[in-house]
Amino acid sequence: MPRYLTKSRFKLAVECPTKLFYSSRKSTYKDNKQEDSFLRMLADGGFQVGQLAKVIFKDGHEIKSKDAEKAEAETLQLLSENEEIVLLEPAIRYKNLFVRIDVLIKRKNTFELIEVKAKSYNSAKPEIEGAKGGILKPMLPYIQDVAFQKFVLRLAFPDSAISTYLMLPNKAVTSQVDGLNQMFKVDHTDHSTKVVVDEKIHSVINEAQKLLIKVSVDKYVDDVLSKEIECPGLIETLPNLAHHLAKAYEFDQKISPTLSSACSKCEFKASPSDKLKSGFHECLSSATGWQGNDLYQTTILDIWDFRKKDPFLTQGIYKPSQLSQEDIGYKDDKEGLSRTQRQWLQCQGIPLEDDLGGFYLDTELFNHHMRKWKYPFHMIDFETSTTALPFFKGMRPYESVAFQFSHHIIHENGSIKHLGEFILAEAGQFPNYEFVRALKKELEIDDGTVFRWAAHENTILNHIATQLMNDQEPPSDRDALLLFIDTLVTGGSRAMVDLNEIAKRTYYHPDTKARTSIKKVLPAVLKSSAYLKEKYAQPIYGKEIQSLNFQNFTWWQSKDGQFIEPYDLLKDIENEMLGDEGAEIFDTEDDGFEIAEGGAAAAAFARLQFECLTEQQRSNIKNALLRYCELDTLAMVMIVEAWREWASV
């Protein structure tokens, strides 16, 4: 089978040329991007934007064949037989360069090349070029993608004029169509996957198409084609780089790796216990000469939020212990650990006088914070979704929907309850106002301190407040809901306490690699706390401790002497939420995305909105969502329990 450099492989190789080698060996090398739930959810967004584009260009001829040669032959035949034609997913090849263009419009000797992306765009505040010129970093991969396609199309049709466009969801526009997202459904029944487009889309297409904006990018594409592209180990113009990469891929040659700061996010990274190989560690071995267990030691790449990695890697400095305080830019902070102090702890370890048994806790500062808190403590966590095509009328692309929360409470005597929860995930029902009403009812029982982890809950409540204020047909209790929100958000009389900020300022454990996400902090705390181990190694959760979704559950578990992280105990629940099939429909040419917390829940909500499911499947997913979200607030409880116990010594 011919090996072509496609647009997705070109994009991957610009990130790192060595990835071309690993990506073609899916059964040999671990690829974490293929496994990530949030990536799958975003792929759904791209899939639905693509389907809307196909409806917009309903008179276009779609090249459906997945076989490269057949698709190319059909494309060339249609182009040769028609002076004017719209093609969807045509196959264009020049030697070992191959692209499937989303939309190609031919008018005699001119082409319009349109790349449809789920990337958000605001026509009121276009952000492609920076204030001082140059393409902004977040937009550069998209422009390079279009530039590569134009380059291949121009080689195949050298006498044609080509104009280039991105078609993107426009955040400046509100949807005038209710349930637009759900008009593109995925059906997995009968052991196959198919897309079901609701016939209603044709009656609302004039309104629906306003959500996608066609943006001319000729200026930026020409800029990319005329200048050098810098990727790890290579600096070449796009034409030279494309030919270089295409040759390496065609002949299955591994391009020698060059370590860079981008390697810290390499998706081809496996642990020693994985069955698949680790491309990342092969690159690390090639650069450093390390072998065996040495490959799994902490490197400069692991230093949290360190912005000087590349210069030190270039000098052959790979170990954090080789850095000085001056290298880090070390600065003290009166309000607890500074960013550079956390980095220094990674480099040199915890000083003996501050080591509480493998971890650091600023007990004085923690107690200072805790003295301001009022019992009972309320732990809340939200699950939300943002999609390219809005679920509901009046919403903008990528506007947040809050569909679930969990609520734990800690009393002064140490007793704990999973006091409440909320979920509204029925297709077509706007949940945000019901969400706030339910939260208000939960928290109005007393005036105890309310806790969140990071800024998400604050952001979502502010967003819902904006929705309430802008609603042309507001609910009768709008003022009461706005007043409630105002008390909880930053600056309010009962403003939520951010435990993530407390963690950043007071707590450090080597296992977290200086990070403070709850999924990093919880296992580190559980492994360190004898108090938590003794308590939660017993099946008391859902028995002595009230739970709404668990019975007699043991959270501190081990296997073969190895501690099992709580979120790993819920892997079966995550599988229930996400299902086994969805990945089959995702376009492998689609974008890569940053990974975020809460992705599994957001993906599950999306399934409930647009997937054809049985009532039993829907019930299973909702139950799984409830258990998954409950752990997030229980995690906050456990962490505060441990900190409080350590700080009282």
- What pLDDT band is residue 69 in, cutting at 50, 70 and 90? very high
Proportion of the chain above pLDDT 90, given as a percent: 80
Do 545 and 555 meet the contact criterion of CB atoms below 8 Å apart?
no
**Hey, what are 274's tokens?**
């994985």
Whether the predicted pLDDT of 192 surpasses 80: no
**Hey, what are 407's tokens?**
């609520």
- What pLDDT band is residue 591 in, cutting at 50, 70 and 90? very low
Q: Which pLDDT does position 590 carry in this prediction?
A: 31
| Cβ neighbours of residue 564 closer than 8 Å, sequence gap 6 or more | 557, 558
Whether the predicted pLDDT of 37 surpasses 60: no
Q: Which pLDDT does position 589 carry in this prediction?
A: 32
Do 184 and 52 meet the contact criterion of CB atoms below 8 Å apart?
yes
The more confident residue out of 10 and 179 is 10
Whether the predicted pLDDT of 1 surpasses 60: yes
Q: Give bridge partners of residue 163 from the DSSP assignment.
A: 112
- What pLDDT band is residue 587 in, cutting at 50, 70 and 90? very low
- What pLDDT band is residue 582 in, cutting at 50, 70 and 90? very low
| Beta-carbon-side half-sphere exposure of residue 235 (alpha carbons within 13 Å) | 2
The lowest-confidence range among 306-315, 455-464, 509-518, 567-576 is 567-576
**Hey, what are 371's tokens?**
């003295």
| Beta-carbon-side half-sphere exposure of residue 128 (alpha carbons within 13 Å) | 20
Whether the predicted pLDDT of 595 surpasses 60: no
Whether the predicted pLDDT of 273 surpasses 70: yes
The CB-based long-range contact list for 552-557 (8 Å cut-off, 24+ gap) reads 555/526, 555/634, 555/638, 556/526, 556/532
What is the DSSP secondary-structure string of 6-41?
-HHHHHHHHH-TTHHHHHT-TTTB--GGGT-HHHHH
Query: Of the candidates 311, 444, 365, 392, which has an alpha carbon nearest to the alpha carbon of residue 643?
Result: 365
Average pLDDT on 625-630 reads: 93
- What pLDDT band is residue 305 in, cutting at 50, 70 and 90? very high
Distances (CA, A) of 458 to 174, 408, 433, 462, 525: 23, 18, 16, 6, 25
Cα 72 from Cα 96, distance rounded (Å): 13
Eight-state DSSP code of residue 487: H
pLDDT tens column, 386-428:
889 988 889 999 999 999 999 999 999 999 999 999 999 988 8
**Sheet hosting strand 194-197, strand order edge to edge:** 194-197, 184-187, 611-612
Whether the predicted pLDDT of 24 surpasses 60: yes
The lowest-confidence range among 166-170, 196-200, 285-289 is 196-200
Distances (CA, A) of 542 to 419, 538, 569, 620: 12, 11, 16, 19
Q: Where would I find the H helices in 380-511?
A: 432-443, 456-470, 478-488, 499-506
- What pLDDT band is residue 588 in, cutting at 50, 70 and 90? very low
Q: Please state the φ and ψ torsions of residue 420, each to the nearest 5 degrees.
A: -165, 170
CA 259, 263, 268, 273 torsion-angle sign: positive
To the nearest whole number, what is the mean pLDDT of the chain? 91
- What pLDDT band is residue 586 in, cutting at 50, 70 and 90? very low
The more confident residue out of 606 and 254 is 254
Q: Which pLDDT does position 187 carry in this prediction?
A: 75
pLDDT tens column, 465-481:
999 999 989 999 999 99
Average pLDDT on 637-641 reads: 98
Cα 272 from Cα 168, distance rounded (Å): 41
| Polymer length of the chain | 649
- For residue 597, the one-letter residue type is E
Q: In terms of pTM, does the model score above 0.75? A: yes
pLDDT tens column, 96-150:
999 999 999 999 999 999 999 999 999 999 889 988 889 999 999 999 999 999 9
Q: Which pLDDT does position 436 carry in this prediction?
A: 98
Whether the predicted pLDDT of 207 surpasses 90: yes
Q: Which pLDDT does position 40 carry in this prediction?
A: 57
**Hey, what are 571's tokens?**
């892997």
- For residue 639, the one-letter residue type is I
The more confident residue out of 588 and 162 is 162
Do 217 and 143 meet the contact criterion of CB atoms below 8 Å apart?
yes
Q: Which pLDDT does position 33 carry in this prediction?
A: 84
Q: Tokens 């005699």 — which residue?
A: 108
- What pLDDT band is residue 335 in, cutting at 50, 70 and 90? confident
The lowest-confidence range among 125-134, 228-237, 346-355, 583-592 is 583-592
Q: Give the chain's domains with CATH numbers.
A: 30-230 (no CATH), 369-499 (3.30.420)
| Cβ neighbours of residue 27 closer than 8 Å, sequence gap 6 or more | 276
Report the 10 Å Cβ neighbour count for 353: 5
The lowest-confidence range among 134-143, 234-243, 513-522, 615-624 is 615-624
Q: Which pLDDT does position 585 carry in this prediction?
A: 28
